[in-house]
Amino acid sequence: MRVFKFGGASVKDAAGIKNVYDVLQKVGYEDVLLVVSAMGKTTNALEDVIKNYFEKSEELNASVQEVKKYHNQILLDLFEDEKNEVFAAANTLFSELEYFLAHNKSPNYNFVYDQIVSYGELISTTILSHFMSYMGIKTQWLDVRNFVKTNSNYRDAEVDWELTQKNIAKNVKKKMLNITQGFLGSDENNFTTTLGREGSDYTAGIFAYCLNAESVTIWKDVPGVMNADPRYFENASLLSHISYREAIEMAFYGATVIHPKTLQPLQKKEIPLYVKSFINPMLPGTCVSKGSDSEWQIPSFIVKRNQLLISLSSIDFSFIMEENISEIFALFHQFKLKVNLIQNSAISFSVCVEDKFENFKDLNPILSKKFKVDFNENVTLYTIRHFNDKAAQTVEQNKTVLLKQVSRETMQVVTKES
């Protein structure tokens, strides 16, 4: 079985849904499992719903209606007859969402987030599945929450691999097109969980591992894995082949083409991962697999924006030692700040972190009890794999360098625009 993942950009409108059908016609769809994200910017729109829900905003109903209107227009563009059962199926999902908003009693933001945001994937796959059937392709729609079982760490759940393996091996049908949701799972109480933002790639890796899949293909709006984001760098080059190790390194440092968690399960069973264009599906794209390739020596640029650079120094000029660092990292873990760069001296300790849950405002007073805390917001972290002098100059030009770290293979620079 092959596993395909289509992201939000590929199914953002009716034309995108039709293009998925065209891609499947060209590359085949028998014995295929599709993992599909929410349509377009639906996740962002549902985050607005969540914000309005907690703020008890008068805009709550309007924000829900915007999401409904967006999907209803796609339905009208895809299906000639409004009596098609897909309209009722979509309305049922929206009714469930509205029921939850009206009756939920939990004040836990992360729990509520997962229950609400999940409707993006549930609705997108419902529409796609009905369209494939409408076009004559026999499909099986799978509720991923019945397959991927996790703990209750809402918004960043960890997979119960043993139970997930049993569920997938027993229930996924071969010799047909299976369609399921990315990003989602469920806990032991069957409440919806999510695997972290952009977790649909990870879902594809989970299914591939459990099915001993032939391959995984992530369909993107780019030709494959590039050595730089073409939005930020001119003359970006396609990497036609990279190893699991190099891809994991790039993902760890923040390359957005492949989700960091996706590669580990694939590497364990040596399942190749392809990154290909849904615009030009017959192009070769990038293959991530076992082996080595000289292309790795090309400098590869990874950019992480909206970072937070925190510098801690001891108040009494004592050394910052292992005990202090251990305490600091325990707090970062508690407040869910992802550390992307570390640098320390005798009496200071600097970290570049990602504060995606906006928890630093609560952590700062705690740190300030023991350390002098300085920080810079909205900085950019550049990572260059296989750097050279020209590559370094490219990222440092016309910027204020706040921190720089160099190892044998990798250079990292934290900058502020000058």
Binding-site positions read: 5-8, 43, 121, 231
Alpha-carbon separation of residue 81 from 132, 134, 137 (angstroms): 15, 11, 19
DSSP-based three-state secondary structure for 326: helix
Residue 140 CB partners (closer than 8 Å, separation 6+): 173, 176, 177, 178, 179
Exposed/middle/buried for residue 136 (C-beta within 10 Å: 0-12, 13-18, 19+): exposed
The SS3 call for residue 383 is strand
Counted residue by residue, the chain has a size of 418
Question: Quick one: DSSP state of residue 150?
Answer: B
Binding-site residue positions for ATP: 5-8, 231
Roughly what angle, to the nearest 10 degrees, separates helices 119-134 and 42-54? 140
**Is residue 287 within 8 Å of residue 273, measured between CB atoms?**
yes
- Residue in 130, 132, 268, 121 with CA at minimum distance from that of residue 180: 121
| Cα torsion 217, 219, 224, 230: sign | negative
User: Torsions phi, psi of 215, nearest 5?
Assistant: -170, 165
Regarding beta strands 410-417 and 399-406, do their DSSP bridges make them parallel or antiparallel, or are they unpaired?
antiparallel
The binding site for substrate consists of 43, 121
**Sequence-distant (≥ 6) Cβ neighbours of residue 340 within 8 angstroms:** 253, 254, 304, 307, 352, 353, 354, 381
